[in-house]
A and B are shown apart, each in its own frame.
Chain A
């Protein structure tokens, strides 16, 4: 199972918006709405930010939003803040009843 494709890095200035893409296939992202996004700060465990493509868990800022079109899911962070600087990973359930993660995207807040 190949990893989902994410850009290695993105950056933005405080207050701006950024979008991270996550491209899969018709065996994962394309056929399931089980796409989640995780934030990971250095040395910390991942934290769930978005589930089922576009739903936010309780306690996650509404500056985080998710969407999907075809085989590509996206995470958008609006009103960038310094504390958003972290690694972000997407994941999807697959037709083989396994999970696949993206390679991760390093977000830098300039």
Chain B
């Protein structure tokens, strides 16, 4: 069974940093591109970032480019999102998702909540 389990969320002050992780199981992690998608409270889904198989090619939304870094450890079957210079606008549930077929997010984790507040 495919499972994606996010962790690392919590309360952080504006300007602070946080690292999220997404532990994958039930599939060959190194064979899939991976994504992060976020959802502010009561709002819609927003794509954040995407990473290729070996971690050498990334893509970011304009709102996080230069502040967020996506990387992976295929030996540990884990995806990471390093988030720096956080602001209140980054407050959201963060979901990791697997890109199954091209451009299709076929499995999602349950999310981890990030709250940026003083």
A residues with CB within 8 A of B: 1, 3, 32, 34, 36, 38, 40, 44-48, 51-52, 57, 87, 89, 91, 93, 97-104
> What total of chain B residues lie within 8 Å of the partner, measured CB to CB?
23
| A51 and B104 within 8 A (CB) | yes
Residues of chain A within 8 A of B103, CB atoms compared: 32, 34, 36, 93, 99
Cα distance A100–B35 when bound, in Å? Answer: 13
Interface of B toward A, CB cutoff 8 Å: 35, 37, 44-47, 50, 59-62, 95, 101-111
For the residues of B in contact with A, the DSSP-based class is strand
Name the contact of B108 in the complex, choosing from A47, A100, A103 (C-beta under 8 A): A47
Residues in B whose Cβ lies below 8 Å from that of A48: 104-107
A1 to chain B, nearest CB (A): 7
Chain B residues positioned under 8 Å from A104 (CB to CB):
44-45
List the B side residues contacting A1 at CB < 8 Å. Answer: 61-62
- Chain B residues within an 8 Å CB radius of A57: 106
Q: How far is the CB of B5 from chain A (nearest CB, A)?
A: 11
Complex contact A99–B50 (CB within 8 A)? yes
Whether A34 contacts B44 by the Cβ 8 Å rule is: no
